[in-house]
Structure 1
Amino acid sequence: MKTPGKTRTEQILRVMYVLSWIAFIGLLVKTGAIMTSFGVSLYNPEASHNLYKGLSLYDLREHSFWYYTQVVSLMIAFSGLKAYIFYLVIQALSKVNLTNPFTMEVAVLLEKISYVLIGIWAVALLYNAQTEWFAKRQIINLDHWSTEGFFLMAGLVFIISQIFKRGVEIQAENELTV
C-alpha cells in the first residue's frame, strides 16, 4: 500500500537507509568485539580460544604472538572497513534529493566508497596470502575470505560515481540555459 506523498523510490531509499544503519551498527559491534577480545587476550591467553563467535586462535597465539597479532589486525581492518562503507552509504543516502539527484557530494561519497572497497579487497588478499603461508608451514588452517565481489563492486561503484559527476555537469549546464 502506497503512503500518501511518498513515491516508491523514496520508500525504497528510506528502507535502504534503515538497513544501512542496521548493518553499520552490526559491523561496529563485530569490530568492537574482536578488538575487545584481542585486548583481553593480551593479558589472558585463554581468551584467544574464543576470539569471536567461536573462532579459536589460541594455537596461533602460542606459536607466534606476532602472527596472531597480524591475523587479528587484518580481521579488525576487514570488519572496520566494511563498517566504514556503510557509514559512507548512510551519508550518501541522507544527501540524496530526488528532485535534484545529481550532486557533487553524492558523487564524491560514491567515489570514496569505491576506494574503500578496493581497500577491503586488498586486506582480504593479504589475509588469504597469510592463511596460505600458514597452511604451507602447517601452523594453522584458517578459512579464506572471498575477494572477487569487492573488486567487482569497487569497479561498479566507481563507474556510478563518474556517471553522477557527469550528471552534475549536465544539471549545471541545464540550469545555466534556463
Structure 2
Amino acid sequence: MKTDTKTKQILQVMHVLTWIAFIGLMIEAGAILVSYAVSCVNPEAVKNLYKDLNLEELREFSFWQYTMSVSFLVAISGMKAYVLFLVIQALSKVNLENPFTIEVVLILEKISYNLLGVWIVAVINNRQTEWLLRRTGITSETLAAEEFIFMAGLVFIISQVFKRGVEIQSENDLTV
C-alpha cells in the first residue's frame, strides 16, 4: 500500500511540473510571436527578438527568410507545448487500479506522432539554416532535433506496450 501512495504522489508532482512546463512553453511561443509582431512595425526590435536572439542580418537580407525562421521557432514551441498538454491529459487519465486503458494508449500515440512532427519541423529549420549559411553566410537559430526522434520512438514503443496491456486486461476481464 505504501508504494501505491508514493506512486500517486509522484504522478501528482509530475502533473504539476508538466503544467508548469506547458505554461512556460505557451508563454515562450507567445513572446516570440509578440516580439515578431513588434519587429514588423519597429525594425530596431529585431536586434533583441527573444532571449537576446538577433536576427537583424537575416531580416535585412530577406523578410521572407526572417519570417520563416521565426515561424519555425513559434511552431517548435507550440508543438512542444501541445505535447505537454497531451502528457497532462495522459496523467489525468491514468488510474492506478486499472492503468491500461485505450484512452491512454491513444494519447500516447498522439504524443509520439507530435514528437515526430517536432523532429520534422526542427530538421526543416536546420536545413534552411544550413542553406542560408552556405548561400549568404548569415546564421540563424538551429534547433536540436535528434532527441525528438528518439523520444517519439520511445513513446510509441510505450504506447504499444500499453496497447498490449489493454488486450491482456480485456482478456482477463472476459475470463473472470
After superposition, the C-alpha distances for 1:6-64 in whole angstroms (9 at most, x for unaligned) are: 62111111111011001000000000000011111111111111110110111111110
Pairwise CA distance, 1:138: 3.0
- Unaligned segments of structure 2, at least 5 residues: none
**Residue 109 (str. 1) matches residue 107 (str. 2):** yes
CA distance in 1, matches of 2:50, 2:3: 45
Pairwise CA distance, 1:158: 0.4
Change (3 A) 1:118 1:5: closer
Residue 175 of structure 1 is matched in structure 2 by 173
**Residue 132 (str. 1) matches residue 130 (str. 2):** yes
After superposition, the C-alpha distances for 1:58-108 in whole angstroms (9 at most, x for unaligned) are: 111111000000000000001110000100000000000000000000000
- Unaligned segments of structure 1, at least 5 residues: none
Provide TM-score, normalisation by structure 1: 0.94
- After TM superposition, list the pairs within 5 Å mapping 1:158-173 onto structure 2: 158-173=156-171
Residue 35 of structure 1 is matched in structure 2 by 33
CA distance in 2, matches of 1:35, 1:48: 12
- Structure 1 range deviating more: 4-13 or 28-37: 4-13
Amino acid at match of 1:15: V
Contact 1:114–1:154, Cα closer than 8 Å, also in 2: yes
Pairwise CA distance, 1:5: 9.6
Which structure shows the bigger proportion of residues in helix conformation? 2
Amino acid at match of 2:90: A
Among candidates 36, 60, 64, match of residue 66 of structure 1: 64
CA distance in 1, matches of 2:34, 2:16: 27
CA distance in 1, matches of 2:3, 2:175: 30
Residue 145 of structure 2 is matched in structure 1 by 147
Residue 85 of structure 1 is matched in structure 2 by 83
Residue 157 of structure 1 is matched in structure 2 by 155
Q: Which SS does the other structure have where 2:136 is aligned?
A: coil
CA distance in 2, matches of 1:158, 1:38: 35
Contact 1:63–1:139, Cα closer than 8 Å, also in 2: no
Residue 95 of structure 2 is matched in structure 1 by 97
Provide TM-score, normalisation by structure 2: 0.95
Count matched residues: 175
Q: Which SS does the other structure have where 1:7 is aligned?
A: helix
What RMSD over aligned residues (CA atoms) do the two structures have, in Å? 1.4
Contact 2:76–2:122, Cα closer than 8 Å, also in 1: yes
